[in-house]
């Protein structure tokens, strides 16, 4: 019961904070790029930019490894400043509206690019191009995000 109260209090606090924030007040800039691994495009990978303080931005790569970050809704870009970058191919199984199962995908990207990322990018007030050339050498995290 106490755990439920804490969860509800936390949820209400988060909603209150989010209502008080206006996404239009946050400075963002466009970010796009290409992700390759071992000199080949990395398709269907998630790319997430995490600022030091604020909302992450994310995207999925296309068949050629290209991506364009989305900040929120239909607003593209990422917050200005230093961002930690995480790239992953791991996805859980899901279901279509028609009830068809979409299988999950395994992680193929080493932990130095996701669970223990060393990637960073400085988003500036301009059109940012953030290309990432990854190497498949390294440890792959298990499903719980641990090595």
Reply yes or no on whether the pLDDT at 90 is more than 60. yes
Closest CA to 84 of 130, 46, 59, 50: 50
| Spatial distance between the Cα atoms of 43 and 28, rounded to a whole number of angstroms | 26
Residue with tokens 């669970």: 115
All structural domains of the chain, each given as residue ranges with its CATH number in brackets, are: 25-134 (2.60.40.10)
Query: How far does CA 16 lie from the centroid of its chain?
Result: 24
- Can you tell me the distance from the alpha carbon of 123 to that of 29, in angstroms, rounded to the nearest whole number? 7
CB 77 within 8 A of CB 125: no
Mean pLDDT of 63-92: 95
Q: What is the pLDDT of residues 112-133, one digit of tens each?
A: 999 999 999 999 999 999 999 9
Instruction: Give the global pTM.
Output: 0.78
């Amino acid at each position: 019961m106490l755990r439920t109260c804490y969860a509800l209090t936390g949820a209400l606090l988060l909603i209150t904070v989010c209502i008080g924030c206006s996404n239009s007040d946050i400075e963002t800039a466009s970010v796009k790029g290409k992700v390759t691994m071992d000199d080949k495009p990395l398709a269907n990978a998630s790319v997430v930019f995490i600022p030091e303080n604020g909302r992450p931005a994310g995207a999925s790569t296309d068949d050629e490894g290209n991506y364009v970050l989305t900040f929120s809704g239909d607003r593209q870009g990422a917050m200005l400043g230093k961002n930690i970058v995480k790239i992953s191919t791991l996805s859980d199984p899901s279901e279509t509206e028609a009830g068809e199962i979409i299988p999950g995908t395994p992680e193929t990207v080493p932990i130095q690019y996701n669970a223990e990322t060393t990637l960073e990018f400085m988003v500036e007030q301009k059109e940012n191009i953030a290309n990432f050339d990854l190497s498949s050498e390294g440890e792959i995290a298990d499903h719980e995000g641990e090595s």
